Chain A
């Protein structure tokens, strides 16, 4: 499976990657500094360094797991892609992504979810993503994820003065295809609230119980109903029996007024 490695210590902030992304995806020129429906990749200034922000192509993506119509898919090659023709626009993917990546075309009457798709079409043609190809310093690398991870480990271990002892994307949210290493001041920019576990499991723990729960509840409901009906039938029979006896008594006590009692019961 493919991945990407961004080494913040090598990035000079030329924004070639951002420009290449814009051209590849036919996006308009904007001067925004945030991810948006028109910007799938940004450079964020962190002290003397730059941090690339974009979809991380999680190994177990929350967005893919929550999409009710499977418009978002994790491809075996690594990218998390989006199929507009399936999307119903529920925006659950935006709520669920732990990194807050997907963007929406709010001003359109035919809105699309927008995010980096790791140039899936280029990958299929045997090319690397536009941003990696454009990077003049090798700060953004494309390749096999395992090899990139090994390379990242080596760099971090060999130069502890430069690098924080942290490979972002190795474990976060169950691991991501896009890995980041760099000096401590860059690595501190990541949201510490993102847990290491893969989040879709939290949902699946409940969803996978549904068939059992329905089975148990259904049987219980029918059982309860049957028992109650049976007891009511029995009670009715008993009442009828007592009534018959009561009638006999009433008849033998001719002359008294049974009506009020009968009504009350």
Chain B
């Protein structure tokens, strides 16, 4: 007899994923990294770093980008996106730490960088940024609990702290996003020239802002469907246009730099690197820019959503190119993640999705915003109901 709760397809799927993730976790901690991953002396970093950490942190960038728009630039129209973005960033960072615990050879020593210092190490900077920004995010998110449980004094204190927290959030994110790029500054000989550049920190920071905005768009769509809320239309359009601008800026910097280093002139179409490079640029940048910049796409909920998804996909390809493909093509060693590595990663993502779901359901995350009955998404009837829970 199947328990009733498992008959919900989402719950059933989650149960399967968690079972696979649970087994992989056992393997990882009982038998070590060798038994649970395809990592090797030639390939010491895999998808737990390339995806869980690099992409996880990047995708949490919506937290500080939207936060800056709302609390520092005081652009009111983005306000409906602020709480979901900060919440997602917090959950994202908690999961990144979770992913790190899997990847570190000695997870219980994760606190070592607090007392054992090496300011010359980018990893040291990364460690401090993760810890500091997770704390700031926790403070930003705490206001949801204070409001929920009507703790007036704490709520007031936290509201008053919004501006300093926002400034801290922006500064720490700036450092953290760019430091993930700086991690690779020390491997000029080992990373392919299409990805290695002294500008890596700047490129990581810029693309993370674009991806952060895209996450805000995707998430807004998902929660609108899931909870039958209205989409904050002006905020989404603004975010899309802003993303188009940021992604274009990224392309300009990236190509100017590739011309400078000459990597573009060495493009060879019989190389795997070239195709992965083109894939990343087209899917993650060129198509989303065209989409985000064309009114016809922007005013259609579905195409806007699609464009944001493409942007995220391209972002993920970019991070994996830097951390996996770029090393593979130079060293000649290949790395294909073990199924257990993939299972852990999917488990982490699933946990994140559920965490966001429950938070949005039970905490005051999605603030009410005025309905706009006179306005409608192209190709859909004017009623609000039309794009509730599809």
Contact = CB atoms under 8 A, between A and B. Distances in A.
B226 interface: no
Interface string A22-46: 0000000000000111000000000
A1 interface: no
A67 B121 contact: yes
B196 to A, nearest CB: 10
B187 A109 contact: no
Interface stretch (A4-12, A49-57, A116-124, A210-218): A210-218
Contacts, number: 168
A62 interface: yes
Given A88-B106, A214-B175, A225 B72 contact: yes
Contacts of B174: 213, 217
A113 to B, nearest CB: 8
Interface stretch (B109-117, B292-300, B342-350, B368-376): B109-117
A35 B30 CA distance: 26
Interface string A190-207: 010111000110111111
A96 B191 CA distance: 10
Nearest to B200: A206
A263 interface: no
A202 B167 CA distance: 29
A158 interface: no
Contact of A100 (B42, B170, B182): B42
A196 B34 CA distance: 34
A107 B125 contact: no
Contacts of A210: 125, 175
A87 B106 contact: yes
Nearest to B122: A203
Interface in B102-147: 103-107, 109-110, 112-113, 116-127
A204 B104 CA distance: 24
B118 A225 contact: no
Contacts of A66: 120-123, 186
A92 B183 contact: yes
Nearest to B327: A95
A244 interface: no
A217 B171 contact: yes
Contact of A68 (B29, B107, B121): B121
Contacts of A87: 105-106, 109
Contact of B41 (A62, A103, A200, A213): A103
A70 interface: yes
B269 to A, nearest CB: 23
Contacts of B232: none
A240 interface: no
Interface in A159-192: 191
A155 interface: no
A200 B120 contact: yes
Contact of B188 (A70, A100, A199): A199
A44 to B, nearest CB: 16
B258 to A, nearest CB: 18
Interface in A66-105: 66-71, 86-92, 94-96, 98, 100, 102-105
Contacts of B112: 68-69, 86, 88
B189 A109 contact: no
Interface in A107-141: 107-111
A233 to B, nearest CB: 11
B116 A104 contact: no
Given A69-B112, A88-B106, A214-B175, A104 B189 contact: no
Given A91-B105, A92-B123, A109-B31, A228 B74 contact: yes
A87 B106 CA distance: 8
A206 B109 CA distance: 27
A214 B34 CA distance: 40
Given A86-B112, A88-B106, A206-B182, A70 B117 contact: yes
A108 B74 contact: no
B35 interface: yes
Question: Could you say which of A191, A202, A214 has the most chain B C-beta atoms within 10 Å of its C-beta?
Answer: A202
A232 interface: yes
Contacts of A67: 118, 121, 123
A195 B189 contact: yes
A69 B185 contact: no
A95 B44 contact: yes
Interface string B325-342: 000001000000000000
A250 B318 CA distance: 61
A218 B175 CA distance: 12
Given A200-B120, A202-B185, A69 B113 contact: yes
Contacts of A214: 171, 175
Nearest to A113: B105
Question: Could you say which of B42, B45, B175, B189 has the most chain A C-beta atoms within 10 Å of its C-beta?
Answer: B189
B13 to A, nearest CB: 31
B278 interface: no
Contact of B186 (A91, A96, A110): A96
Contacts of A153: none
B2 to A, nearest CB: 36
B32 A111 contact: yes
B122 A104 contact: no
Given A94-B44, A107-B32, A194 B73 contact: no
A253 interface: no
18 contacts: A67-B121, A68-B112, A69-B112, A88-B113, A90-B103, A90-B123, A91-B45, A95-B187, A104-B33, A110-B106, A193-B189, A193-B190, A194-B189, A202-B188, A210-B175, A217-B174, A221-B171, A228-B72
Given A194-B189, A207-B125, 5 more contacts: A66-B121, A87-B109, A108-B34, A109-B29, A202-B186
Interface of B: 29-35, 39-42, 44-45, 68, 71-74, 103-107, 109-110, 112-113, 116-127, 163, 167, 170-171, 174-175, 178, 182-183, 185-190, 198, 201, 330
